[in-house]
Amino acid sequence: MNLQGSINENQNVLSGLYLKLKKRFTENALVLDLWDSMESDIGQQIRSLKALPPSFWRQLKQAADAPKPSSPGKNDCTTALTTLAAPRGDGLAYDTVSNSD
C-alpha cells in the first residue's frame, strides 16, 4: 500500500473511532462536543489530502526513493557532536551529557 492509502486508512479508522466515542458520551454535552470536533477535524484532513494533486504524491514518492546520503565517518561524528553541543543563539544554557557511570 502506498503512503496516501495508508494515511486514508488510518484517518478512516480514527473517524470511526470518534463516531463510536460520540455515541457513548451522549449524556455529557462537553465531551460529546469534543468528539464531534475531533471527528470533524479528521474529516477536514481527509478532504484536504484528497484535494492534493497527484503530482504532490509523485514528488513525495520520488523524494522517499532518492538515495540517502552516506553515513558519516569517525571524524564526521566528532564534528556533528560539536555542532549539537554548541549553545543556541537565544542565550539559553544547554545540558551536557556524560558517558561516565
| Domains identified in the chain, total number | 1
* Domain around 43: 3-65
Mean pLDDT (the chain, rounded): 74
- Angle (CA) 11-16-17 rounded to 5° is 95
Q: Does residue 27 sit within a domain? A: yes
Does 79 reside within a domain?
Answer: no
Q: What is the value of pTM for the model shown? A: 0.52
Residue 97 lies in a domain: no
Which residues, at least 6 apart from 25, have a Cβ–Cβ distance to it below 8 Å? 31, 32, 35
Q: Is 60 exceeded by the pLDDT of residue 89? A: no
* Domain assignment present for 54: yes
- The answer as to whether 17 is a domain residue is yes
Contact 72, 80 (CB under 8 A): yes
By the 8 A CB rule, do 35 and 25 touch? yes
User: Is 38 contained in some domain?
Assistant: yes
Q: What is the pLDDT of residues 63-83, one digit of tens each?
A: 888 887 766 555 544 444 444
